[in-house]
């Protein structure tokens, strides 16, 4: 599910509520003063699920609309009739008004609406204000529902930001057992790096404002082409879209239109925006200026931590990158956006996106912009090791300065390279177990390949057998179990033998039947990266 982009079918006409008593997105939201100096937005597990629900409303697609839509007034007259109460005329009109097609809101289901309507009217009946209420100006049930949801979310977020237990919550976030750093931890560092006063209450208010109301107008215009279809088709479409998520880069790129004169300056103030490849000069009204993008980044970081929805995040980051590019913004903020996107892509193994970010980062660092060049240069080396791109590796080597070669992450990556070049698997797997930053995600990509190569070596060199434990230790397996599994998965059980409570790996036998050679050859043959030019 892509939370912020509900492609909810829409009944053809846009809701244009006439008398708006409750505006779904209030002009301002009261925000309580921060009371602690803890990390800005950690996510205590319990509230997580609640906020899920709160966000959830926008993602629940409306139920399949009845094909034979009853006349607007019908349900209104039916419902109260059951109760055998004399409804005043004004109430009947109110109910009627609620179901007028132009007043329907696609984010509020019919059931919800009916329930709410019932509640409103019975409440009025019970409290005896039925005849005193001015039903003509009364907010429609769908508006009330929306408003309630908004309120619920706001208080939710406020509870989050002011919750006194939250300070410790950051620390109790489940410790990642993996040795790799998660991209999330990374952005957390950055959150902490931001002084608390920088995150002004105002901007936070603004932010939450956006979350609760992901700009309906905007969304609807985007959904319009789809909204005309019925929701079944819609769902299929969504499903299909899902399947291709992450496959944004199509091999075919339509020829770019002629260039425009200069950079646009964006005026769009919506935080979120779907990624669409530009086919015409960018329009200022749909491009977000830098200060808005900064808020977007904060929002996305938060969402990533909470929801871990990669296809959504990737889409959003791509549109951010696009906005930065069309406005020719190249500064430290740009670096930050690319770095974060690169880390997230790395964590999710999306090498195509990662490679795009990396290419940009290289150029940005060359402009002298600050960031984490050392970290990313190290990734770059590891990446080229993975893709076995010798030419690029050569170029990287040529670009490194002596000082850079001494930086730990870069030195590590260079050592990995030389260990592999010399076939020193012993050293390679030692380095693998001690990889700085997120390099482990990259090394994971080629570690099995190198294991197969090492197996070829070991099988030929050791006779007649070795202890499985030796293989486990030499090739960086997590345990004998893991090593045995790897062997069995690749070449079957024939080469393992139990002897005196030891498991032996029959190297001579594996060598004789050349078990590993074809596997090794196959593993080195296919290094095909999506998005790689």
Partner 1 sequence: MDTIFREFGEAFSQQNGYQLSQTLTPQLPKDMLRVIWRSANHHDVKSVLRRGIQSSSSSLMNRLSREEVDGWVEVYYTYWKACEHLLAMEEGSSNSSWTKVYEAWKEMLNALHRGYTNYGFEAWTIPCIYVGAKNLRIFAIRADQQRNSSSAQENSGMSFQDDFDPESGKNQQLEDCARQLNRMFQLCLSDRAPLEESRKWGIYYVVNLLFKTYFKLNSASLSKNMLKSLTAGRGDMPGLSAFPKSQQVTFKYYEGVLHFLEENYVESEKHLTIAWNLCHKNAMRNKELILTYLIPCHLLTTHTLPTQQLLEPHPRLQKLFLPLCRSIKKGELHAFDIALQEAEDEFVKRRIYLTLERGRDIALRNLLRKVFLAGGFEPPKEDGAKPLRRTRIPVDEFVAAISLGSQQMLDPDEVECLLANMIYKNLMKGYIARERGIVVLSKSGAFPGTGV
Give the residues lining the site for partner 1 (CB under 8 A).
256-257, 259-263, 275, 277-282, 318, 321-322, 325-326, 328, 330, 356, 359-360, 362-363, 366, 390-391, 393-395, 397-398, 418, 421-427, 456-458, 460-463, 466-467, 470, 473-474
Q: What is the DSSP string of 402-415?
A: HHHHHSHHHHHHHH
Question: In a 3-state reduction of DSSP, which class is residue 190?
Answer: helix
Nearer to partner 1, 427 or 530 (CB): 427
Nearer to partner 1, 218 or 362 (CB): 362
Nearer to partner 1, 302 or 386 (CB): 386
Tell me how far, at minimum, the Cβ of 533 lies from partner 1, in Å.
Answer: 11
Rounded to whole angstroms, the Cα distance separating 431 from 429 reads 5
Nearer to partner 1, 77 or 359 (CB): 359
Question: In a 3-state reduction of DSSP, which class is residue 497?
Answer: strand
Nearer to partner 1, 53 or 397 (CB): 397
Nearer to partner 1, 79 or 517 (CB): 517
Nearer to partner 1, 318 or 412 (CB): 318
Rounded to whole angstroms, the Cα distance separating 176 from 502 reads 33
| Residues 6 or more apart in contact with residue 38 via CB below 8 angstroms | 166, 167, 168, 169, 170
Q: What number of residues does the chain have?
A: 533
Tell me how far, at minimum, the Cβ of 310 lies from partner 1, in Å.
Answer: 18
Tokens of 90: 């004004």
Tell me how far, at minimum, the Cβ of 302 lies from partner 1, in Å.
Answer: 24
Tell me how far, at minimum, the Cβ of 461 lies from partner 1, in Å.
Answer: 3
Tell me how far, at minimum, the Cβ of 180 lies from partner 1, in Å.
Answer: 25
Nearer to partner 1, 71 or 263 (CB): 263
CA angle 479, 483, 488 (to 5 degrees): 145
Q: Which residues pair with 497 in a beta bridge?
A: 504
Placement of tokens 């289901």 in the chain: 109
DSSP 38: S
Tokens of 414: 């260079």
| Residues 6 or more apart in contact with residue 109 via CB below 8 angstroms | 60, 62, 63
Nearer to partner 1, 108 or 471 (CB): 471
Question: In a 3-state reduction of DSSP, which class is residue 467?
Answer: strand
Q: What is the DSSP string of 412-435?
A: HHHHHHHHHHTT-HHHHHHHHTT-
Q: Is the peptide bond before 464 cis (omega within 30 degrees of 0)?
A: yes
Tell me how far, at minimum, the Cβ of 446 lies from partner 1, in Å.
Answer: 17
- From the list 151, 145, 143, 146, the residue with the least C-alpha distance to 18 is 143
Tell me how far, at minimum, the Cβ of 224 lies from partner 1, in Å.
Answer: 23
- From the list 182, 144, 200, 157, the residue with the least C-alpha distance to 20 is 144
Tell me how far, at minimum, the Cβ of 289 lies from partner 1, in Å.
Answer: 17
Calculate the alpha carbon distances from 51 to 47, 148, 310 in Å. 6, 14, 18
Nearer to partner 1, 338 or 441 (CB): 338
Nearer to partner 1, 55 or 428 (CB): 428
Let me know if 302 is exposed, middle or buried by CB neighbors in 10 A (0-12, 13-18, 19+).
buried
Tell me how far, at minimum, the Cβ of 423 lies from partner 1, in Å.
Answer: 4
Tell me how far, at minimum, the Cβ of 385 lies from partner 1, in Å.
Answer: 12
The neighbour count for residue 181, using CB atoms within 10 Å, is 20
Tell me how far, at minimum, the Cβ of 294 lies from partner 1, in Å.
Answer: 19
Tokens of 100: 């007028």
């Amino acid at each position: 599910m892509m939370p912020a982009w509900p492609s909810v079918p829409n009944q053809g006409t846009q809701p244009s509520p006439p008398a708006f008593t409750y505006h779904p997105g209030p002009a301002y939201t009261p925000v309580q003063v921060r009371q602690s100096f803890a990390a800005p937005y950690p996510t205590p597990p319990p509230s997580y699920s609640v906020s899920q629900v709160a966000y959830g409303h926008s993602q629940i697609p409306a139920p399949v609309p009845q094909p034979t839509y009853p006349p607007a007034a019908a349900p209104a007259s039916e419902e109260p009739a059951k109760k055998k109460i004399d409804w005043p005329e004004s109430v009947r009109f109110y109910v009627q008004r609620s179901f007028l097609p132009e007043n329907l809101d696609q984010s509020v289901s019919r059931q919800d609406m009916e329930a709410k309507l019932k509640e409103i009217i019975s409440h009025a009946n019970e409290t005896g204000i039925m005849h005193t209420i001015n039903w003509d100006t009364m907010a429609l049930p769908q508006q009330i529902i929306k408003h309630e949801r908004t309120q619920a979310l706001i208080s939710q977020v406020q509870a989050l930001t002011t919750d006194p237990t939250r300070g410790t919550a950051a620390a109790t976030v489940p410790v990642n057992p993996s040795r790799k750093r998660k991209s999330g931890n990374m952005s957390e560092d950055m959150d902490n790096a931001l002084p608390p006063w920088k995150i002004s209450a105002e901007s936070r208010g603004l932010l939450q404002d956006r979350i609760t109301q992901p700009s309906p107008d905007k969304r609807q215009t985007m959904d319009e082409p789809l909204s005309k279809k019925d929701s079944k088709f819609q769902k299929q479409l969504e499903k299909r879209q899902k399947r291709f998520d992450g496959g944004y880069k199509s091999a075919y790129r339509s020829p770019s239109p002629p260039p425009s004169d200069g950079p646009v300056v964006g005026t769009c103030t919506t935080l979120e925006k779907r990624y669409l490849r530009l086919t015409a000069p960018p329009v200022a009204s749909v491009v977000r200026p830098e200060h808005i993008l900064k808020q977007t980044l904060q929002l996305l970081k938060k969402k990533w931590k909470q929801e871990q929805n990669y296809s959504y995040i990737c889409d959003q980051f791509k549109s951010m990158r696009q906005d930065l590019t069309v406005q020719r913004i190249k500064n430290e903020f740009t670096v930050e956006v690319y770095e974060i996107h690169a880390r997230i892509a790395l964590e999710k193994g999306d090498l195509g996106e990662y490679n795009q970010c990396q290419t940009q980062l290289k150029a940005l660092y060359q402009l002298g912009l600050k960031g984490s060049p050392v970290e990313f240069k190290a990734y770059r080396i590891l990446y080229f090791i993975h893709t076995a791109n010798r030419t690029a590796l050569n170029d990287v080597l040529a670009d490194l300065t002596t000082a850079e070669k001494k930086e730990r992450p870069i030195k590590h990556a260079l050592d990995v390279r030389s260990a592999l070049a010399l076939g020193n698997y012993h050293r390679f797997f030692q380095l693998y177990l001690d990889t700085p930053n997120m390099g482990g995600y990259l090394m994971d990509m080629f570690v099995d390949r190198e294991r197969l190569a090492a197996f070829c070596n070991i099988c030929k060199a050791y006779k007649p057998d070795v202890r499985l434990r030796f293989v486990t230790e030499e090739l960086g397996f997590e345990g004998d179990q893991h090593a045995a599994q790897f062997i069995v998965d690749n070449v079957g059980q024939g080469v393992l033998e139990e002897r005196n409570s030891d498991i032996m790996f029959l190297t001579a036998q594996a060598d004789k039947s050349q078990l590993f050679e074809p596997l090794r050859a196959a593993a080195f043959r296919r290094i095909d990266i999506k998005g790689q030019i």
